[in-house]
Copies of this chain bind each other. A is one copy, B any other.
C-alpha cells in the first residue's frame, strides 16, 4: 500500500539537507563560512526541515588541522553561522559510533543550537549505538539511528537490530543504501520491513540513498511512497562518490507548498557552479555503477575518480578479481 498519491501533501515528510556533511566527504569539509551561511539561508527559504552541518568527530582520533571544521561541528562554529537559529529549520549533526567522544563533546540540548544527532553505525555496533542514543536522548536531543551498509546484512540480523532499536528512545531509524546497490524493488521491501517496526513503536523511518546506479532520487521517492518520511538530500546530489538524492529533484517532486525550488537555484548558480569549477568532483559515473552493481564499498571507485582514470575495463576486471575474496 502506498501512502498518499503523486498529488497529495504528506504532512509527515521531513527533508534533511546533508550537503555539508555528506558533501564534506568530497572536499575534506573545507567549505567557506559564506558558502555554509548562504546554504543555511537558502535551505530556510526552500522549506528544508533539517540542515546537517557535519560530523561530531573525535578530536582524539582525527587531527583538527587535517580537516575543515565541519568534521567536528563545534558549537561556536555552528553558532557563527546560525546565531541562535531563529528559524523553523532544525540543526542536525552526525556522529559515527566509535569515532566520536559523545560523552564529552555534546552540551545538554537546552544549551546547544543542535536539535538532532544522527547516530551512524554498522550492524555489529548496534549495542554501542543504543548506548549513545540513550545518552543523547537524556541530553534532550532528537536522535536517529542510521544503520549503514544494509545491502550486506541478512534480513534476520537486520530484524534483530530493528527490534533492539524499537526498545530505545530513538526517534527515527534510517534506511541507508551506503553502497548504492539497492533497486527500487529492494527499497520497497526494506521500507515495509522498517515501517513494520516503526509503526508498532511510534517511530519514523528515514532514507539516505546513494547514486551509484543513478537511483538515489528514484529510491527516495519509492521509500516515501510507502510511508518513509525523513528524506535525505543534498544540493546537486553533492556527497561521497556518486553522491546522494539531489535536493532540487526532491523539492520539485514534493507537492507541499511549503517547499520551494527557487531559493536553491540561486544558491546553485552562485555557489555550487563555482565549487564544481574549482575541481571538487562527485556524482554518477561508471566506476560507481560497477561498485554499486557488485555491492561493494565505493572506496576503490573514489580512488579511480581522484586519479582521473578512464580505463574502465581494467578497473572493472580488478573489481571482479577482488570479488573472489
Contacts and interface: CB of A to CB of B under 8 A. Distances in A.
A164 to B, nearest CB: 28
Contacts of A59: none
Contact of A252 (B186, B217, B293, B313): B293
Contact of A253 (B183, B268, B269, B311): B183
Contacts of A184: 184, 218, 221-222
Interface string A135-162: 0000000000000000000000000000
Interface residues of A, number: 38
A95 to B, nearest CB: 30
Please provide the 7 A-B residue pairs with the shortest distance between their CB atoms, ordered closest to farther.
A218-B218, A252-B293, A265-B313, A265-B312, A269-B312, A273-B310, A214-B217
Interface string A159-193: 00000000000000000000000011110000000
Given A184-B184, A273-B310, A312-B268, A289 B248 contact: yes
Interface of A: 2, 5-6, 183-186, 213-219, 221-222, 225, 236, 246, 248-249, 252-253, 261-262, 265-266, 268-269, 273, 286, 289, 293, 310-313, 316
Contacts of A289: 248-249, 252
Interface centre among A246, A253, A312, A316 (most CB of B within 10 A): A312
Contacts of A293: 252-253, 261
A273 to B, nearest CB: 5
Given A184-B218, A215-B218, A268-B312, 19 more contacts: A6-B183, A6-B185, A183-B221, A183-B253, A184-B221, A185-B225, A214-B214, A214-B246, A215-B217, A217-B218, A236-B286, A248-B286, A249-B289, A253-B293, A262-B313, A262-B316, A265-B286, A265-B312, A265-B313
Contacts of A6: 183, 185-186
A311 B222 CA distance: 31
A298 to B, nearest CB: 15
Contacts of A214: 214, 216-218, 246, 249
Nearest to A263: B313
A269 B2 contact: no
A213 to B, nearest CB: 6
